[in-house]
Amino acid sequence: MEEYLDTIKQIITDLHPELDDGDRDGLVTDGILDSYDIITIITQIADEFDAVITADRITPETFDSAQSIAELVDEILNG
C-alpha cells in the first residue's frame, strides 16, 4: 500500500498546492476536496495504477485522506 501513498499525496498537492503535503485527514469533511477534485483523483489513479474506482466506492470516508484512498486502491487491486 505504501507504494500508492506517495503518488496519491502528490496528486492531492498538485490539486491543492496550499496544502503543505497531501498527508492530512478531513480532505472531504473539511471541504478541501470538491466533487471535481475527487473525479480528477479517480482519473489519475486509473492512469497511474490501472485501478478503476466505481461510483459505489466513492464515499466521504474513502476520500477523506491520502491513506484511506491508498487503502481503497489496495483493496481494488489486491482484493
Note the residues at the interface with another protein (CB under 8 A).
18, 31, 34-36, 38-40, 42-44, 46-47, 52-56, 58, 79
| Least distance CB 3 / another protein (angstroms) | 22
Tell me how far apart the alpha carbons of residues 8 and 79 are, in angstroms, rounded to a whole number.
Answer: 19
**Least distance between another protein and beta carbon 9 (Å):** 18
Give yes or no for a contact between 1 and 68, defined as CB atoms under 8 angstroms apart. Answer: no
Could you tell me the smallest distance in angstroms from the CB atom of residue 21 to another protein? 15
Using DSSP's 3-state secondary structure scheme, residue 2 falls into helix
